[in-house]
Structures are given as structure tokens and as C-alpha cells.
């Protein structure tokens, strides 16, 4: 990946607010308003030609 920064798990395991929130989300401590994942979505064009896309 051209502009990709290195993912260092040791660093991310340290002071990482996002990790703390993800863990809280798993424990359901912060409720459903704690954050956001991309909504699951399958973007697919249907048969029928390219005029029937998306």
C-alpha cells in the first residue's frame, strides 16, 4: 500500500482510546451509541445490462 502507515500492534496496545472504546463496546458498557462500524452493505449491480447498475 502506497501511503499505508505501519500497523504496530505493540504501539496500538498502549495508550489507544479507540481500543478502549472497542473493548467497552464488546462489554456493552457504553451502549449502542458508543460508536460506529460501517453499515453492512452489499453494493451489487443486477443483471440486465449496465443501465441497471447499483
Partner 1 sequence: MACTSTSRADQATEPVRETLWTSPAIYSRRHRKSASALLAVHNQLARQRPLGGREAGFLELVEQARSAPAEAFTRVWTDPVAYYWVRIAYELLYAVLNETPATGVAAACARDYGAADTAAALERHLHEFRRFALGIAAAGGPGCRFDEPYRAGLPFALPGSLLYVAGRGEIAVYGIDGDTLYCRHGDTERHLPLRPAASADTGPRVEQCPVAGVDDYRCGLNAAAFNNLPGMEFTAPVQAAGPAFQEHRVELVQQTLQVLRDRAPEVFAQFADAVPYIALKPLRGGDYTNLAHSELPGTFIAAAIDHPHEMADTFIHEFHHNRLFFLEETGPFFDETHTQALEEQRYYSPWRDDLRSLHGIYHAVYVFIPVTRFWLRVLAEDPPDDSLRAYAGERIARFLLQLRIGIAQIDRHAELTPYGEALFRQMAGDVAELEGLARAAGVDDRAAALACGADGRIAPAGASSVRADVLEHLARFAPRQQRTHLESRLAP
Contact 12, 23 (CB under 8 A): no
Cβ 18 to partner 1, closest distance in Å? 5
Contact 21, 34 (CB under 8 A): yes
Q: Which residues inside 17-46 make contact with partner 1, applying CB under 8 A?
A: 17-19, 21-28, 30-46
Residue 49 lies near partner 1 (rule: CB under 8 A): yes
Cβ 16 to partner 1, closest distance in Å? 6
The Cα–Cα gap between 31 and 15 comes to 22
The Cα–Cα gap between 19 and 33 comes to 16
What residues line the site for partner 1 (CB under 8 A)? 1-10, 12-13, 16-19, 21-28, 30-54
Amino acid at each position: 500500500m502506497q501511503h499505508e502507515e505501519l500497523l504496530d500492534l505493540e504501539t496500538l496496545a498502549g495508550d489507544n482510546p479507540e481500543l478502549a472504546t472497542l473493548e467497552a463496546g464488546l462489554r456493552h458498557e457504553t451502549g449502542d451509541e458508543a460508536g460506529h462500524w460501517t453499515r453492512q452493505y452489499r453494493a451489487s449491480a443486477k443483471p440486465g445490462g449496465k443501465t441497471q447498475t447499483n
